[in-house]
Amino acid sequence: MKFIVTSTALLKQVQLLSGVLNSSNTLPILDNFLFEIRNKELTISASDLETSMTTRMAVESKEDALIALPARLLLDTLKNLPEQPLTFTIDQKSLATEITSENGKFKLNGQNGEEFPRMPAMDETRDLNISSDILSRAINKTLFAAGNDDMRPTMSGVFFEIHPDHVRLVATDAHKLVRYSWKGIGGESASFIMPRKPLNLLKGILSSLKTDVRIEYTDQNALFTFDHVTMSCRLIEGKYPSYEAVIPKENPFRLSADRLDLLGSIRRVSIYANKTTHQVRLKMGGSELTVSAEDLDFANEAQERLTCSYAGDDMEIGFNSRFLQDMLSNMDSENINLEMSAPNRAGIITPVEKDHDNEDVLMLVMPVMLNS
């Protein structure tokens, strides 16, 4: 059995799927890509049992075929070939596969494709249609705030809330929180928690696409379909924390500052911060903001002053500099607002200017105790 495909076209497809692969799998078959040809269309699949992805492309072939081919070996081969037609010749009995290029031959052992796990059946699904740029933007704005604690699995993903008139994504690790909403898109009210890995895959793929994404979901699984790609994943079980309860409603003190100026200052000053707490101190009064940090163990300290707009009593508050940098880096607006109520309560960061009228972004960061 033979099929012909261009090396660069095939490489592009398997690179899309490569993020699904794990370095160590409980089932040896998962170290492979599944190749399935039907009616001159090649479907390539990768899976780690939790996340599965398929991509489709046209090939030259007179027969149907089903075979699992070693993923890493195939990837490394294709990466090092210039653009050219490749002929895959598969022995249906032994599953030995020969790849013929313009200048050589490469032989690899395939496995029985029937052993490869299939995507879970999706019965009685609910669905949502959303453009790729909105979904990509929502993932980019939230995923960095998700936790990494295996003891709190619900916080390791992103919470999707679907309402009739808007979609909301929330991520938190208990130290920082992001709430992202987009008005004008909605569906039947529902919610689910998406794991980090499939969201990272979507983040990488959707950034270069202009298409619609169809999301189908049940209580256990979600299915994303767009362009020539299908991805399914198992959802995180459990109840998401009541995030609204931790967002302070009354924040009388407001600082407005240039986002990039503040980000640059925090980056420079934090070099001198304690390497355990990463604490930076913000001292606000009038139209001046002082950003400072110190490491008492090594007698290091740094301080910078910025011009700002501040309304409220003079205040000093401490934050983890890494969290502030993450948040400011994931905003687009030229200026930001930092709203506070007390040195021991969370600060709320929001953009002053909106790129999109339908978009609403709120970022929350917990304070750290100031050094006396």
Q: What is the mean pLDDT of residues 135-141?
A: 96
> Which residues are CB-neighbours of 121 under 8 A, at least 6 positions away?
none
Q: Please check whether residues 18 and 68 belong to one and the same domain.
A: yes
CATH number at residue 101: 3.10.150.10
215 shares its domain with 263:
no
Percentage of the chain lying above the pLDDT 90 cut: 91
Residue 311 in any domain: the answer is yes
Residue pair 187/126 in contact (Cβ under 8 Å)? The answer is yes
Residue 339 lies in a domain: yes
pLDDT at 123: 86
For position 372, what pLDDT does the model report?
60
Residue 253 sits in the same domain as residue 352: yes
Does residue 170 belong to any structural domain of this protein? no
Q: What is the mean pLDDT of residues 126-155?
A: 95
Distance, in Å, from the CA atom of 54 to the CA atom of 47, rounded to the nearest integer, reads: 9
Structure confidence at residue 235 (pLDDT)? 97
pLDDT confidence bin for 120, thresholds 50/70/90? confident
Instruction: Tell me how far apart the 2 most distant CA atoms of the chain are, in Å.
Output: 80
Residues 251 and 230 grouped into a single domain: no
Q: Which residue type does 294 have?
A: E
Neighbours of 242 (CB within 10 A): 7
- Answer with the one of 115, 149, 173 that is the final residue of a domain: 115
Work out the average pLDDT over 202-229.
94
Read off the DSSP letter of residue 138.
H
Residue 130 pLDDT more than 80? yes
| Contact in structure between 146 and 172 (CB atoms under 8 Å) | yes
Q: Is the pLDDT of residue 371 over 80?
A: no
100 and 148 belong to one structural domain: no
Q: What proportion of the chain, given as a percentage, has pLDDT over 70?
A: 99
Please report the pLDDT score of residue 161 as a whole number.
Answer: 97
Same domain? For 234 and 134 the reply is: yes
Q: What is the pLDDT of residues 272-293, one digit of tens each?
A: 999 999 999 999 998 999 999 9
| Residue 208 to residue 205: CA distance in whole angstroms | 6
Strands of the sheet with 279-285, listed across from one edge: 300-307, 288-295, 279-285, 315-320, 367-368
Output the pLDDT for position 122. 86
Query: Is residue 311 domain-shared with residue 270, that is, in the same domain?
Result: yes
One domain, residues 132 and 41: no
Q: Is residue 336 part of a domain?
A: yes
- The total domain count for the chain is 3
Digit-coded pLDDT (tens) for 304-342: 999 999 999 999 999 999 999 999 999 999 999 999 999
- Domain presence at residue 180: no
Under the banding of pLDDT at 50, 70 and 90, the label for residue 207 is confident
- Residue range of the domain that includes 87: 2-115
Write out the two tokens for 313: 């009593």
Rg, C-alpha atoms of the chain: 25
Sign of the dihedral through C-alpha 12, 14, 15, 19:
positive
Kindly tell me if the per-residue pLDDT of 349 is higher than 90.
yes
Q: Are 11 and 63 within one domain?
A: yes
Q: Is residue 168 part of a domain?
A: no
**Residue pair 112/68 in contact by the 8 Å Cβ criterion:** yes
Could you tell me if 236 and 146 lie in one domain? yes
Whether the Cβ atoms of residue 144 and residue 326 lie closer than 8 Å to each other:
yes
pLDDT band at 26 (very low <50, low <70, confident <90, very high): confident
Domain boundary among 81, 115, 149: 115
Instruction: Quote the pLDDT of residue 202.
Output: 96
Q: Are 64 and 37 in contact (CB under 8 A)?
A: yes
Q: Please give the C-alpha separations between residue 275 and each of 106, 129, 241, 271, 283, in angstroms, as whole numbers.
A: 51, 45, 30, 9, 21
Q: Do 135 and 53 share a domain, yes or no?
A: no
Mean pLDDT across 133-141: 96
Residue at 169 is within a domain: no
> Are 237 and 254 within one domain?
no
What is the rounded average pLDDT for all residues in the chain? Answer: 95
224, 241, 258 — which closes off a domain? 241
Asked, for residue 162, whether it belongs to a domain, the answer is no
